[in-house]
Amino acid sequence: MNGSRTFRLVFIFLLFALIMPTVLASQEAFPQGTTPGTTRMNPDRDAGRIPFIDLQIRDPESSNEVAFSVQLLLLLTLLSLAPSILILTTSFLRISIVLDFVKRALSLQQVPPTQVLNGIALFLTLFIMWPTFSLVYDNAYRPLANGELTVSQAYTEAEGPIRMFMYRQMSRDTSAIATFMTIAKLDKPRTLADVPTRVLVPAYILHELTVAFKIGILLYIPFIVIDMVVASILMSMGMIMLPPVQISMPFKLILFVLVDGWGLLTQQLFNSFM
């Protein structure tokens, strides 16, 4: 047993001694037509350059630098609050809720996607709010960019058109304004100037939620009637296990398309803000 193991070791050693010179020779001599290479680093080669980023904080040297720092801070704050401002102080809130009501009334789960509905609401908001945005640009942003107004003056000029838009939507029903004025323990306002913005914005949100739910109820009524008719027919035929929504959804879609539902809905939403 020991002799067999010794013989194997000797055979492996001899085989290794015969193969290694051939391997070393093949590594030293490259095949014909190839480019010789090496794994050694070239000491004369410049190392890759990485840019150095330096951030310094120092005291302002002039009033212009102070004003620029304040403007930059206000701009970053405005950008962080821009989605909330867009949703809560424009027509986006009402349009997005109504579109979601339509989707639920039609018994649709995935079509159209929520991203598509939000995109439709966004562009309808831009279309409806374009005159207001134009006033803000002409009266606030452009004079501020030209150095004709200060930041506080530009804010006042930009706030005016948006406040007027929100107040026009609540001109027929000022109960929301009265509610928040009472909560804030403020005197009864005589004009729009007497209503602070911190009261006008939540009042507008409450008003928009109420109007959007009223529109949603009116949209639900014809589709509920279709659901009830289909459910009654299925019950009379003894098809208790068949979901009525599965049968009524094609009829609701046909009705919505025949009456040009998207066109009528868009037109009525636009008219509700005028």
Q: How far is residue 133 from each of residues 19, 141, 161, 238, measured CA to CA in Å?
A: 84, 10, 8, 59
Distance CA 22, CA 20 (A): 5
Alpha helices for the chain (secondary structure H): 2-28, 63-88, 92-105, 114-136, 142-145, 151-169, 175-183, 197-236, 244-258, 261-273
Among residues 97, 98, 104, the alpha carbon closest in space to that of 245 is found at 104
Distance CA 134, CA 264 (A): 27
Distance CA 97, CA 118 (A): 10
Spell out a b/e string for 231-267, using b for 16 or more CB atoms within 10 Å of the CB, else e: beebeeeeeeeeebeebbbeebeeebeeeebeeebbe
Distance CA 95, CA 212 (A): 8
Position 8, amino acid: R
Question: Residue 23's pLDDT is what?
Answer: 47
As a 3-state breakdown, the chain gives helix, strand, coil percent values, each rounded to 5, of 70, 0, 30
- Residue located via tokens 């706030």: 159
Q: pLDDT per position in the chain (274 positions), as tens?
A: 555 566 566 566 565 555 555 544 554 455 555 555 565 666 665 555 666 565 566 666 666 655 666 767 777 777 777 778 778 888 898 999 998 888 888 888 777 888 888 888 888 888 888 988 888 888 887 887 777 777 778 878 888 888 888 888 887 877 888 888 888 888 887 777 778 888 888 888 999 999 999 988 888 888 888 888 888 887 887 777 777 777 778 888 888 888 888 888 888 888 888 7
User: Which residues have CB under 8 Å from 128's CB, separation 6+?
Assistant: 90, 91, 270, 273
